[in-house]
Amino acid sequence: QLQLQESGPGLVKPSETLSLACTVSGGSISSSDYYWGWIRQPPGKGLEWIATMYYGGSTDYNPSLKSRVTVSVDTSKSQVSLKLSSVTAADTAMYYCVRDGGYWGQGTLVTVSS
Amino acid sequence: DVVMTQSPLSLPVTLGQPASISCRSSQSLAHSDGNTYLNWFQQRPGQSPRRLIYKVSTRDSGVPDRFSGSGSGTDFTLKISRVEAEDVGVYYCMQGTHWPYTFGQGTNLEIK
C-alpha cells in the first residue's frame, strides 16, 4: 500500500524558507507512470496546486508562486521535497504531498509567524 | 488560470436522498491527447482529500458505486444516488488539463 508522509517544521518565520519533505513508502518514487505534486490548503479555505514533478526531473510550478518554489526528488531517500522562499503569513497552510492526485499524505500544517 | 465554479456551495441533503454537484470550467477541459482531466475529491472533516472520480467518470478503487461523474467540455456533474452519513464533507472538482491545475471552491454536503 503506497503511503506518503510529509515532514518539516511546523513554524517558520516571515521572510525565511519553508522546507518540507515527503517520504514515499510501499511503492517506487522513480516511475514514468506517475507524477508527484504539492498542494496546499490555508485554514478553512480551498485547495491550491503548488507544483508538479515528473519522471526525469522536469517540473511545473504554479505561476503565482513560481519565483519562490523549488521541488526536487532524492531517490536514495524516496523523498520529494518542497522549498518555498520568502514566506509570509499568506503561506500559512496545510501542505499535502500527492501522487497523481490519487494518493495523498496526511498533510503537515505550516504556520508562518514571528 | 482555468476557473472552476461549483454549485451549490452548500448542500443539505436528507439521508437516502440523491445529491448533485455541478462544476463548470472557464475553458474546455478536453486535452489534445483525447482525455478530459476532470477529477472529483471528497474531504471529510479533519481528513486529507480523497479522490473519488478521475477523467470525468472513472471511479477510484474502493469508491462506492453510488458516486458517479458525468459531463464534457466545460460542464460536469457529481451525483450521489443515495446519501449516507459517511458522505458528509466538502467536495471539490479539479481540472488537470491546463497548468496550473485548479480546484473549485468546494461544496459542503451536510445531512438535513
User: What cell was used for A112?
Assistant: 508562518
d(CA B46, CA A78): 27
* pLDDT tens string B61-82: 999 999 999 999 999 999 999 9
Nearest to A60 among B99, B103, B105 (CB): B99
Residue A66 has pLDDT above 90, yes or no: no
Q: For residue B79, which of B97, B89, B91 has the smallest C-alpha distance?
A: B91
Contact A47, A98 (CB under 8 A): no
What was the pLDDT predicted at B64?
97
Residue A7 has pLDDT above 90, yes or no: yes
Residue range A1-19: mean pLDDT, rounded: 96
Q: For residue A102, which of B25, B23, B42 has the smallest C-alpha distance?
A: B42
* pLDDT tens string A12-49: 999 999 999 999 999 988 888 899 999 999 999 999 99
Query: Which residues of chain A neighbour B60 with C-beta distances below 8 Å?
Result: 102
What was the pLDDT predicted at A31?
82
Residue of A nearest to B91 (CA): A46
What was the pLDDT predicted at A32?
82
* pLDDT tens string B7-60: 999 999 999 999 999 999 999 999 999 999 999 999 999 999 999 999 999 999
Residue A4 has pLDDT above 90, yes or no: yes
Q: For residue A101, which of A42, A56, A34 has the smallest C-alpha distance?
A: A34
Residue A53 has pLDDT above 90, yes or no: yes
* pLDDT tens string A79-105: 999 999 999 999 999 999 999 989 999
Residue-wise DSSP of B27-86: S--B-TTS-B-EEEEEE-TTS--EEEEETTTEEPTT--TTEEEEEETTEEEEEESS--GG
| Rg of chain A on CA atoms, in Å | 13
Question: Per the CB < 8 Å rule, is A47 touching B100?
Answer: no
What was the pLDDT predicted at B109?
98
> Taking an 8 Å Cβ-Cβ cutoff, which residues of chain A contact chain B?
37, 46-49, 52, 60, 62-64, 96, 101-102, 104-107
What was the pLDDT predicted at A8?
95
Q: What percent of chain B has pLDDT over 90?
A: 100
